[in-house]
Amino acid sequence: MGVSTSPPEKGIAVVTVDFPPVNALPVKGWFDLAEAVRAAGRDPSVRCVVLRSEGRGFNAGVDIKELQSAGPSALIGANRGCSAAFSAVYECEVPVVAAVRGFCLGGGVGLAGNADAIVASEDAVFGLPELDRGALGAATHLARLVPQHLMRALYFTSRTATAAELHAHGSVWRVVPGDELDRAARELAGEIAAKDGELLRLAKAAINGIDPVDVHRSYRFEQGFTYEASVSGVADRVRNTFGQEGA
């Protein structure tokens, strides 16, 4: 349980997230993930990072129970932890391939949306149920996966998009059966890792430098509204109904 990194193999480091039962990460988990991705990118023997998960889905966002029990400090920690993890993926010195299975929700969209490429299983779904959970955020990253108006409709309804739909929009590289996901992600990572390592790092920095949206500033702006919802009591009102039948 937790975040682990497999020893580099042919230029590929695999970072695995495992927080049963649904990979909803506690505050510490987000910071651990950030450090694991950054460390992998700093390793001169690594030319590509694969970000994957164990269990039922890729990522279910933050641990709602921790937010409910720990008060304002948990929200601040979750905001900072998510920001750190998303930034680590985006700023990783080498390309990051996200291997997405099952649900990719909330913070999962932040991770996948900041990755350089996505390989997904046929059962993968992507969405932001934030409005149902008393939170806001990661529209910055969903907008990197789908067109603007679709992003807005998904955000306001809390609906999800399938891997096949994202593949049609060009944001998912391949959609494969679940038992082929890890192999397919490593296959793409291997093709990337076959390039010159120094040139890859320059290419990653160059592509980030021409990004039309500053993902750090954009996501931080969103987080301000999450905090506003919290201090105003709106977040608690919505979050306290989370999981209740008919809510």
Please give the full DSSP string across 117-128, using - where no structure is assigned: EEEEETT-EEE-
What is the structure's pLDDT at 87?
A: 98
Mean pLDDT by 10 residues, the chain (247 residues): 90 97 95 98 97 96 78 83 97 98 98 98 97 91 98 97 98 98 97 97 98 96 89 84 53
Q: Which CATH architecture fits 2-179+195-203?
A: Alpha-Beta Complex (3.90)
What is the structure's pLDDT at 139?
A: 97
Q: How far apart are CA 127 and CA 60, in angstroms?
A: 10
Contact 130, 225 (CB under 8 A): no
Q: Where are the domains of the chain?
A: 2-179+195-203
Q: Which residues of 208-225 are buried (b: 16+ CB within 10 A; e: fewer)?
A: eeeeeeebeeebeebbee
Q: How far apart are CA 121 and CA 15, in angstroms?
A: 18
What is the structure's pLDDT at 246?
A: 42
Placement of tokens 């592509």 in the chain: 207
What is the structure's pLDDT at 71?
A: 67
Q: How far apart are CA 114 and CA 3, in angstroms?
A: 18
For Cα atoms 166, 180, 155, give the angle at the middle one, nearest 5 degrees. 25
What is the structure's pLDDT at 242?
A: 60
